[in-house]
Structure 1
Amino acid sequence: MLTPLVSVLLLLGLLITLFGAVRRVMLWRRGKPFEVNVWAGLSSIPRRYLVDLHHVVARDRAIAHMHVATAGGFVAAMVTLSVIYLLGLDNSVMHLVALIACAVMLLGAQLVAKRRRLVPTHLSTGPWMRLPKSLNVFAGTFLLVSAFGLFGIESLPSILLVLLGLAMIAGMGEMLLGMTWGGPMKHAFAGALHLAFHPRPERFGGGQSTGLRPLDLTEPHLGVAKSTDFHWNQLLGFDACVQCGRCEKACPAFAAGQPLNPKKLIQDMVVGMTGGSTTAYHGSAHPGQEQQLGEKAICGGPEQSLFEGLLDPDTVWSCTTCRACVEECPMMIEHVDVIVDLRRYLTLEQGATPGKGPDILKNLIATDNPNGNPPLQRHNWAVDLHIPLMAEVKQADVLLWAGDGAFDMRNQRTLRALVTLFRRAKVDFAVLGNEELDCGDLARRLGDEATFQRLARTNIHTLSQYTFRRIVTADPHAFHILKNEYPDFGGNYDVCHHTQLLAELVDQGSLKLKPFQELSVTYHDPCYLGRYNGGYEAPRSLLRAIGINIKEMERSGYRSRCCGGGGGAPVSDVAGKRRISDMRMDDVRDTGAEIVVVACPQCSLMLEGGVEPRPEVRDIAELLLEALPPQVQHFQSGEVEAS
Structure 2
Amino acid sequence: MTLVIGLAGTAVALTLAARRVVFLYKIAASGQPDPERVLRVRREPKADVQDQVTEVFGQRKLLKWSLAGIAHAAVMWAFFLLITVYLEAAVALLAGLDAHIPGLQTWGPIGFVQDTIALAALAGLIVFAGIRIKNSPKRIGRASRFKGSHLGGAWITLFMIFNVIWTMFFFRGAEHASGNLAYGKAAYFSYLVGQAFEGLGHDTLEALESVGLLLHIGVALVFLVFVVHSKHLHIFLAPLNVMFKRRPDGLGAAQPMMSDGEPLDFEEADPEEDVFGRGKIEDFTWKGFLDMATCTECGRCQSQCPAWNTEKPLSPKMLVLDLRDHALAKAPYFTASEEEQGKFTDEQKAAMEVDKPLVAEDGVIHPDVLWSCTNCGACVEQCPVDIEHIDHILDMRRFQVMIESSFPSEAGVMLKNLENKGNPWGMSETKRLEWIEELDFEVDVVDDKISKDTEYLFWVGCAGALEDRARKTTKAVAELLHIAGVEFAVLGPMEACTGDPARRLGMEFVYQMLAQQNVETLNEAGVKKIVATCPHCFNTLANEYPQLGGNYEVVHHTQLLAHLVETGKLTPITPIEENITYHDPCFLGRHNKVYKQPRDIMATVPGVRTQEMHRHKERGFCCGAGGARMWMEERIGKRINTERVDEALSTDPDTVSTACPFCLVMLGDAINEKKNTGDAKESLEVVDVSQLLIRSIKGTAEDKKPVTAE
Q: Shorter-chain-normalised TM-score: which range? A: 0.7 to 0.9
**Contact 1:340 1:445 (8 Å CA) reproduced:** yes
Are positions 1:185 and 2:195 aligned together? Answer: no
More displaced, 615-624 or 387-396? 387-396
**Secondary structure at 2:327 match in 1:** helix
Change (3 A) 1:101 1:147: farther
Determine if contact 2:622/2:644 at 8 Å carries over to the other structure: yes
Q: Structure 1 CA distance, aligned partners of 2:217 and 2:545?
A: 55
Does 1:496 find its partner at 2:501?
A: no
CA distance in 2 between counterparts of 1:494 and 1:144 reads 63
Aligned residue number for residue 250 of structure 1? 304
Helix, strand or coil: the match of 1:562?
A: coil
The alpha-carbon distance between structure 1 residues 229 and 83, as it changes in their structure 2 partners (threshold 3 A), is farther
**Structure 2 regions of 5+ residues with no counterpart?**
137-143, 182-201, 258-263, 332-349, 701-710
1:64 paired to 2:69: yes
What corresponds to 1:470 in structure 2?
Answer: 529
Alpha-carbon RMSD: 2.9
Matching residue within 244, 248, 270 for 1:197: 244
Q: Secondary structure at the residue paired with 1:439? A: coil
Alpha-carbon offset, residue 256 of structure 1? 1.0
The structure-2 alpha-carbon separation of the partners of 1:411 and 1:43, relative to structure 1 and needing over 3 Å to count, comes to closer
The match for 2:100 is 90
Asked if 1:620 corresponds to 2:689, the answer is: yes
- Tell me the SS of whatever aligns to 1:628: helix
Supply the AA of the counterpart residue of 2:152: G
- For the 8 Å contact 2:175–2:209, the answer to whether it is kept is no
| CA 15–594 in structure 1, closer or farther in 2 if over 3 Å, else same | same
Deviation of 1:113 after TM superposition, in Å, equals: 2.7
* Structure 2 residue corresponding to 1:582, chosen from 642, 645, 667: 642
Corresponding residue of 1:300:
352
Provide Cα deviations, 1:214-266, integer angstroms capped at 9, x if missing partner: 11143623110122211101211111111111111100111111110111101
| Counterpart in the other structure of 1:540 | 599
Cα 1:445–1:158 shift into 2, 3 Å: same
**Cα–Cα, structure 1 residues 571 and 491, in superposed 2: closer, same or farther, change >3 Å?**
same
| Corresponding residue for residue 334 of structure 2 | none
Check the 8 A contact 1:81/1:98 in 2, yes or no. Answer: no
Alignment partner, residue 145 of structure 2: 122
Q: Which amino acid letter does the alignment assign opposite residue 592 of structure 1?
A: D
Moved more, 88-97 or 66-75: 88-97
Question: 612, 619, 627: which one pairs with 1:559?
Answer: 619
Amino acid at match of 2:561: L
AA in 2 matched with 1:187: H
Q: Kindly, what percent of the aligned residue pairs are identical?
A: 29
Are the structure 2 counterparts of residues 509 and 491 from structure 1 closer, same or farther at C-alpha, using a change threshold of 3 Å? same
Q: 1:291 maps to what in 2?
A: none
**Alignment correspondent of 2:172:** 146
1:398 aligns with 2:456: yes
For residues 553-582 of structure 1, give each alpha carbon's deviation from its aligned partner in whole angstroms, at most 9, with x where no partner exists: 111111111011111123232422210001
Give the 3 Å change call, closer, same or farther, for CA 383–46 of structure 1 in structure 2. Answer: closer
Q: Which deviates more from structure 2 when the two are superposed, residues 252-261 or residues 568-577?
A: 568-577
Instruction: After TM superposition, give the deviation of residue 12 of structure 1 in Å.
Output: 4.5
Find out whether 1:319 has 2:319 as its counterpart.
Answer: no
Pairing 1:230–2:284 present:
yes
Tell me whether 1:431 sits opposite 2:490 in the alignment.
yes
Report deviation, 1:146: 3.5
SS of equivalent residue, structure 2 residue 687? strand
Paired residues for 1:499-510 under 5 Å: 499-510=558-569
1:593 maps onto 2:598 in alignment = no
Q: 2:583 aligns with which of 524, 534, 546?
A: 524
Structure 1 pair 63/46, CA: closer, same or farther in 2 (3 Å)? farther
- Alignment match, 2:189: none
Give 1:355's aligned residue: 409
CA offset digits 1:162-204 (Å, max 9, x no partner): 9758844763355311222x22422212222212333x1x25x
For 1:419 and 1:46, locate their aligned partners in 2 and report how far apart those are by CA, in whole Å.
44
Question: How many correspondences in the alignment?
Answer: 605
Provide the C-alpha distance between the structure 2 equivalents of 1:240 and 1:375, rounded to a whole number of angstroms.
48
Paired with 2:386 and 2:209, the residues of 1 have a C-alpha distance of 43
TM-score by length of 2: 0.79
- Aligned residue identity for 1:426: G
Q: 1:104 to 1:528 in 2, by over 3 A?
A: same
2:224 aligned residue? 176
Q: Which amino acid aligns with 1:618?
A: V
- 1:333 deviates by 0.8
* 1:12-37 C-alpha deviation (Å, 9 max, x unpaired): 53454344223212121121012244
DSSP 3-state at the match of 1:94: coil
User: For residue 256 of structure 2, what is the amino acid of its counterpart?
Assistant: P
Which residue number corresponds to residue 81 of structure 2? 76
- Conserved? CA contact 1:317–1:574, under 8 Å: no
* Higher Cα Rg, which structure: 2
Report the Cα distance in structure 2 between the residues aligned to 1:429 and 1:269, rounded to whole angstroms: 49
- Distance between the aligned counterparts of 2:289 and 2:303, measured in 1? 23
CA distance in structure 1 between the aligned counterparts of 2:382 and 2:162, rounded to whole angstroms: 28
Change (3 A) 1:435 1:196: same
Q: Is the 8 A contact 1:225 1:306 kept in 2?
A: yes
Aligned with 2:610: secondary structure?
coil
Are 2:275 and 1:270 equivalent residues in the alignment?
no
Cα distance in 2 between the residues matched to 1:60 and 1:384: 49
Distance of 2:324 and 2:596 partners within structure 1:
38
Instruction: State the distance in 1 between where 2:254 and 2:47 align.
Output: 24
Equivalent in the alignment of 1:444? 503
CA contact (8 A) 1:84 1:90 kept: no
Alignment of 1:369-388 (within 5 A): 369-385=423-439, 386-388=442-444
Residue in 2 that maps onto 1:286: none
Secondary structure at the aligned position of 1:609 is classed as helix
Residues in 2 aligned to 1:464 and 1:44: alpha-carbon distance in whole angstroms: 32
Query: What's the TM-score once normalised by structure 1's chain length?
Result: 0.87
Tell whether the 8 Å contact from 1:187 to 1:242 is kept in structure 2 after alignment: yes
Secondary structure of the equivalent of 1:379? helix
